[in-house]
Amino acid sequence: MKAGYLGPKATFTDIAVQSAFPWMERIPFETIPDCLDAVNANQVDVAVVPLENTLEGSVHLTVDYLYHESNPPIVAEITVPIQQHLMVHPENQESWRETEKVFSHPHAIAQCHKFLHGDLRGASVGQVTSTAAAAKYVSDHPELKAAAIANELAAEKYQLSIVKRNIHDLPYNHTRFIAVSSQTLQKEIKLNVSHIKTTVMVTLPSDRAGALHQVLSAFAWRSLNLSKIESRPLKTGLGNYFFMIDILANSENLLVQNAIQEIEAIGCTVKVLGGYASYEADLTARKAYSSMG
Ligand SMILES: O=C(O)C(=O)C[C@]1(C(=O)O)C=C[C@@H](O)C=C1
């Protein structure tokens, strides 16, 4: 079986895949849409992409693609602890404080704002498609005064020297990744389950006073606990939004199904992204991967 993920090798997404789907062949893609397109087209059995980080919030590209383009359901969520390190080419290890440009994924850069503002003030920032892509670029360019923000696995894989560890702004730093697939893979995942969730995307009828209140009431009076609600622009005009809602209950639950029917009956459109378990990543799998190279 094949798992598509945001690559190249040694991204945080790769760690999520390695932890949840250790038996699968891992196929790296350059962008999140490329991963989701691959599972839409059945080129891979599952696609794993980042959804939300504790410090930086939602990955908008993923949320928007799930609403506008993607069809297969979310079958699992994997939460991974995130430790960001600053790394340079070994030739530049002694002079790392002279770094002129720091490369990473925009979310990783945002997670390390205080460090960049303090220790590397004045260095410019280069946004690339992933933390591992940044590590690879720095590895390929020893002639530049460049550094990457990435994980330990990327430092090993691309033979960089870590010059400052744990540079993320706050110690509690986790990212939620989702696995999207048209196959039922749940039974095969051997990680600890922390929650059962259903994710829906709701579009309100236009210009109806109290519509969002009615949507929330449908969950509230059934005592359905929500763990997230977030609006995103519909991209059809200013003031037009859809809402992404996480319900802490199974999609098979009658109360969830009734709530969705009620919300549709008041004129909303509901896209159910999936009912799935949320797992804690097992980072010992990461060690196994690291020794595989
Ligand atoms: O660049 C990576 O390593 C990724 O897996 C992407 C990503 C993200 O999109 O948020 C994942 C986890 C970290 O929060 C930083 C970057």
Is 101 part of any domain?
Answer: yes
Segment 186-207 shows an average pLDDT of 92
Segment 15-25 shows an average pLDDT of 96
Residues with CB under 6 A from ligand 1: 6, 11-13, 50, 53, 59, 82, 105, 107-108, 130-132, 175
Distance 14 CA to ligand 1 centre (A): 10
Whichever domain contains 54, its CATH number is: 3.30.70.260
Is 291 part of any domain?
Answer: no
d(CA 194, CA 199): 16
Tell whether 197 and 260 lie within a shared domain: yes
Distance 104 CA to ligand 1 centre (A): 9
Q: Is 198's pLDDT higher than 90?
A: yes
* Cα dist from 4 to 22, 47, 79, 167, 251, whole Å: 13, 5, 17, 29, 25
User: What is the overall mean pLDDT for the chain?
Assistant: 94
Whichever domain contains 162, its CATH number is: 3.40.190.10
In the block, residue with structure tokens 């919030």: 57
Domain extent, residue 55, equals: 2-81+174-283
Question: Could you tell me the end-to-end alpha-carbon distance of the chain, in angstroms, rounded to an integer?
Answer: 20
In the block, residue with structure tokens 């560890």: 165
Contact criterion met (CB below 8 Å) for 51 and 63: yes
Is 129 part of any domain?
Answer: yes
Is 186 part of any domain?
Answer: yes
Tell whether 155 and 275 lie within a shared domain: no
For residue 293, what pLDDT is reported? 42
In the block, residue with structure tokens 């062949």: 25
Tell whether 40 and 113 lie within a shared domain: no
* Cα dist from 133 to 12, 122, 126, 287, 292, whole Å: 11, 23, 11, 20, 19
Is 202 part of any domain?
Answer: yes
Tell whether 143 and 218 lie within a shared domain: no
Tell whether 279 and 182 lie within a shared domain: yes
Position 42 confidence tier, pLDDT thresholds 50, 70, 90: very high
Is 264 part of any domain?
Answer: yes
Is 193 part of any domain?
Answer: yes
Q: Is 290's pLDDT higher than 80?
A: no
Name the domain boundary from 140, 170, 200: 170
Position 167 confidence tier, pLDDT thresholds 50, 70, 90: very high
Segment 104-110 shows an average pLDDT of 97
Segment 177-205 shows an average pLDDT of 93
With residues binned 3-state (H G I as helix, E B as strand, rest as coil), the percentages for the chain, rounded to 5, are 30, 30, 35
DSSP run (H or E) holding 274: strand 269-280
Closest C-alpha to ligand 1, atom 13: 108
Is 293 part of any domain?
Answer: no
Tell whether 14 and 106 lie within a shared domain: no
> What ipTM describes this predicted complex?
0.96
Residue of 84, 264, 61, 292 whose CA lies nearest to 174: 84
For residue 186, what pLDDT is reported? 80
Tell whether 25 and 154 lie within a shared domain: no
- State yes or no: cis peptide before 142, omega within 30 of 0: no
Counting the structural domains of the chain, the total is: 2
Name the domain boundary from 170, 195, 216: 170
Tell whether 157 and 95 lie within a shared domain: yes
Distance 53 CA to ligand 1 centre (A): 8
Position 185 confidence tier, pLDDT thresholds 50, 70, 90: confident
Q: Is 287's pLDDT higher than 60?
A: no
d(CA 283, CA 151): 13
Closest C-alpha to ligand 1, atom 9: 50
Q: Is 286's pLDDT higher than 80?
A: no
Tell whether 105 and 123 lie within a shared domain: yes
Tell whether 54 and 189 lie within a shared domain: yes
Name the domain boundary from 170, 201, 220: 170
Tell whether 77 and 90 lie within a shared domain: no
Tell whether 210 and 77 lie within a shared domain: yes
Q: Is 289's pLDDT higher than 70?
A: no
